[in-house]
Structure 1
Amino acid sequence: MQNNLTQLFSSKPKNLLNIFFTAGYPKLEDTTVILKALEEAKVDLVEIGIPFSDPLADGPTIQESSKIALENGMSIEKLFTQLESYREENPEADTPILLMGYLNPVMQFGLDKFCARCASVGVDGLIVPDLPMFIYEHEFKATFEKHNISNVFLVTPQTSEKRIREIDANSTGFIYAVSSASTTGSKADFSAAADYLGKLRDMDLKTPVLTGFNIKNNQNFKDACSFVDGAIIGSEFIRQIAETTDLKQTVASFVKEIKK
């Protein structure tokens, strides 16, 4: 499988920065503004959240952004339309894009139709936190592969080594290491994840590992990258863009500060 995501990981680079934001937040048409600003800031990959009314794995900051985005009128169809226009206006853009969403809306949209639209607008991978491995293997995998879409599974400190090995064998993008058993945006200190991330590093997995949930600043980013291949920042980024009057400048400054 070759897409922008697998090409990024082909050399297993280190210190990768993945920024998460919610589609349609703070305002409905901000999706492509933020995406363009992240591309220009040279983030390594971008994760766009599909707003959902019951986001079980998300903490209060992302839940609130999801609620506002839905109130703004965001939908899966609207997101695809936005991404389509983004690709038309930025044909040279090659930063890998992943969509993060829950199983129910994807199934309501139609799995094959959803994956086909992802492929047509340049989405490289999907993160579906509530997609069971068994269902993926037997019902989703062939469709993902048909449309050249990488799948990303989550692991937690409670995930067994056997399960992690199984996920490693079935991953075509990266493994998303949740640094705590809590929801995203937890206030727990990042250092609490050190033992866990060290164990993942020592397993010598074939699939790159990125960690999220608790990465808020440059020091957290450096700490994470000392164990795994990169870090994902969501809640802190959303807090930064929530009240800004200059979205592009805020995005650029945030990424520069993290990667300094």
Structure 2
Amino acid sequence: MLIAENKEDLQKLLNIVQEESRKKGLELNSKKTEMMVISRKQESPKCDIFTNEVKLKQTEKFKYLGTIISNDGKTNREISERTAQAKVNFQKMKTILTNKHISIETRKRALHFYIEPVLIYGCEAWTISKQIQNKLEATEMWFLRRMLRIPWTAKKTNERVLNEANKRRSLVRTIRKRQATFLGHVMRRGKLEHLVTTGKLEGIRSRGRQREKIMDGLATWLGTGKVSDILAAVKDRDLWRDMIANAYKQGT
């Protein structure tokens, strides 16, 4: 994957890859090579990139290392794809997960170890808005209702379902915990990831409500309210672990 700030730099990078590839007897397949522009605009800007005098196809999304990257820079599509994959895997294990001859505790462990990892793969980079949080919580309840064989006609509230399963909501808390843990490693390492997370871009903000950032969501979850407090606390490993454990326990 090649990344550049503008069309000219991207074309130069691609030309270098082509030239070095030819030295090794390799040729870039223009039919299997695509390009994408990441932008906040409603319509993605057009960008013409060529290889072997063939214009590359411009796509709206692509999968890289198992994660979907979208042209709007959001993680909504990736989360929707993860949710769908987790439900497919649940159906494949349906005979076990919905078997009432197996204790609910055993089935919950199976759900935790075999289904949830599919759902939350790469969640450390997710931005969880209120809408996304509701969707994730609905997915968690989707699993439990089917494990307990509760039809939608039963009209049982989520609280009653959680009581029957002897469980608390934990999916979003688990995601937040993984994000906070990963953030600690990134901040203390102090390399490129640190710069990407804390760096600021010059320019004027666009009109309207600004997008929610991962750091803002974590600040709220950890109860600090300020990103600056996070950056100060993360340097102390013991303090950071205690903050994560406390937030996870309280379920905020």
In the superposition, the TM-score normalised over structure 2's length comes to 0.25
Q: Which has the larger radius of gyration?
A: 2
In the superposition, the TM-score normalised over structure 1's length comes to 0.25
Greater fraction helix: 2
Q: Which has the higher contact order (CA 8 A, sep 6+)?
A: 1
